[in-house]
Structure 1
Amino acid sequence: MSESVNDRQATKRLGDIPLSVLDLSPIVEGGSATQSFKNSLDLAKQVEKWGYHRFWLAEHHSMPSVASSATSVLIGHIAGGTSTIRVGSGGIMLPNHAPLVIAEQFGTLESLYPGRIDLGLGRAPGADQRTARALRRDLRIGGEDFPELLQELREYLNPSLADSPVGVKAIPGEGLNIPIWLLGSSDFSARLAGMLGLPFAFAGHFSPNYTLPALQTYRHSFRPSEVLDEPYAMVGVNVMAADTDERAERLATSHYQAFLNIIRGDLKPIQPPVDSMDDLWSEFEKLSVQSQLRSSIIGSPATVKRELQELLNSTQADELMITTSMFDHADRLHSYEIVADVWRS
Structure 2
Amino acid sequence: MTVPLSILDLAPLSSGSDAGAALRNTIDLAKRAESFGYQRFWVAEHHFAAGVASAAPAVLIGLIAAATDRIRVGSGAVQVGHQTALSVVEQFGLLDAVYPGRFDLGLGRSGQRRTEALAALAGPPPAPKPARVVDGLLIPPAFDFGKLVVQPRFALFAELLQQPGATAPDFADVVDDIQALIAGTYTRGDLDVHVTPGEGAKVELWILGSSAGQSATVAGERGLPFAANYHVAPATVLEAVEAYRAAFRPSPVLDRPYVLVSADVVVAPDEAEARHLASPYRHWVRSIRTGAGAIPYPTPAEAAAAPWTDEDQALVQDRLDTQFVGDPSQVAAQLRTLQRVTGADELLVTTITHDHADRVRSFELLAKEWAG
Same fold at TM > 0.5: yes
Q: TM-score, normalised by structure 1?
A: 0.90
Match of 2:327 among 294, 297, 300: 300
Whether contact under 8 Å (1:88, 1:117) holds in the other structure is yes
Letter in 1 for 2:170: D
> Matched residues in 1 for 2:359 and 2:190: separation?
48
Q: 1:180-219 to 2 correspondence within 5 Å?
A: 180-187=205-212, 188-219=214-245
Residue 279 of structure 1 deviates from its aligned partner by 6.0
Say whether residues 1:337 and 2:337 are aligned partners. no
Shift of the 92–138 alpha-carbon distance from structure 1 to 2, 3 Å rule, reads: same
> Matched residues in 1 for 2:317 and 2:21: separation?
30
Letter in 2 for 1:90: G
Unaligned runs of 5+ in 2: 114-152
Whether contact under 8 Å (1:79, 1:113) holds in the other structure is yes
Of 99-108 and 295-304, more deviation after overlay is shown by 295-304
Q: Which residue of 2 aligns with 1:256?
A: 282
Q: Which residue of 1 aligns with 2:316?
A: 289
Letter in 2 for 1:214: A
Say whether residues 1:178 and 2:203 are aligned partners. yes
Match of 1:96 among 73, 82, 106: 82
Q: Which residue of 2 aligns with 1:113?
A: 99
Deviation per CA, 1:102-141, whole angstroms, max 9, x where unpaired? 1110000011111101100000259933222211125666
Unaligned runs of 5+ in 1: 1-11
Size of the alignment, in residue pairs? Answer: 330
Q: Which residue of 2 aligns with 1:158?
A: 183
Of 210-219 and 300-309, more deviation after overlay is shown by 300-309
Shift of the 279–29 alpha-carbon distance from structure 1 to 2, 3 Å rule, reads: closer
Match of 1:314 among 341, 348, 358: 341
Letter in 2 for 1:263: R
Q: Which residue of 2 aligns with 1:167?
A: 192
> Matched residues in 1 for 2:190 and 2:202: separation?
19
Q: Which residue of 1 aligns with 2:170?
A: 145
Shift of the 166–83 alpha-carbon distance from structure 1 to 2, 3 Å rule, reads: farther
Whether contact under 8 Å (1:185, 1:207) holds in the other structure is yes
Whether contact under 8 Å (2:51, 2:297) holds in the other structure is yes
Deviation per CA, 1:182-206, whole angstroms, max 9, x where unpaired? 0011122111100110000012110
Deviation per CA, 1:168-226, whole angstroms, max 9, x where unpaired? 32201112221110001112211110011000001211000011111111111100011
Residue 29 of structure 1 deviates from its aligned partner by 1.1
> Matched residues in 2 for 1:279 and 1:78: separation?
35
3-state SS of paired residue (2:358): helix
Deviation per CA, 1:54-81, whole angstroms, max 9, x where unpaired? 0001111111111110211110000000
Deviation per CA, 1:32-61, whole angstroms, max 9, x where unpaired? 111111101110011100100100011111
3-state SS of paired residue (1:102): helix
> Matched residues in 2 for 1:199 and 1:205: separation?
18
> Matched residues in 2 for 1:247 and 1:25: separation?
23
When the two chains are superposed, the root-mean-square deviation of aligned CA atoms in Å is 2.0
3-state SS of paired residue (2:249): coil
Q: Which residue of 2 aligns with 1:49?
A: 35
Residue 293 of structure 1 deviates from its aligned partner by 3.9
Residue 275 of structure 1 deviates from its aligned partner by 8.6
Q: Which residue of 2 aligns with 1:59?
A: 45
Give the fraction of aligned pairs with identical amino acids, expressed as a percent: 39
Q: Which residue of 2 aligns with 1:24?
A: 10
Residue 165 of structure 1 deviates from its aligned partner by 6.1
> Matched residues in 1 for 2:250 and 2:110: separation?
26
Shift of the 314–163 alpha-carbon distance from structure 1 to 2, 3 Å rule, reads: farther
Whether contact under 8 Å (1:241, 1:301) holds in the other structure is yes
Of 237-246 and 146-155, more deviation after overlay is shown by 146-155
> Matched residues in 2 for 1:161 and 1:18: separation?
35
> Matched residues in 1 for 2:317 and 2:202: separation?
41
Whether contact under 8 Å (1:208, 1:293) holds in the other structure is no
Residue 289 of structure 1 deviates from its aligned partner by 0.7
3-state SS of paired residue (2:77): strand
Q: TM-score, normalised by structure 2?
A: 0.84
> Matched residues in 1 for 2:104 and 2:286: separation?
32
Whether contact under 8 Å (1:250, 1:274) holds in the other structure is no
Of 113-122 and 284-293, more deviation after overlay is shown by 284-293
Whether contact under 8 Å (2:103, 2:203) holds in the other structure is yes
Match of 1:223 among 220, 230, 249: 249
Whether contact under 8 Å (1:206, 1:293) holds in the other structure is no
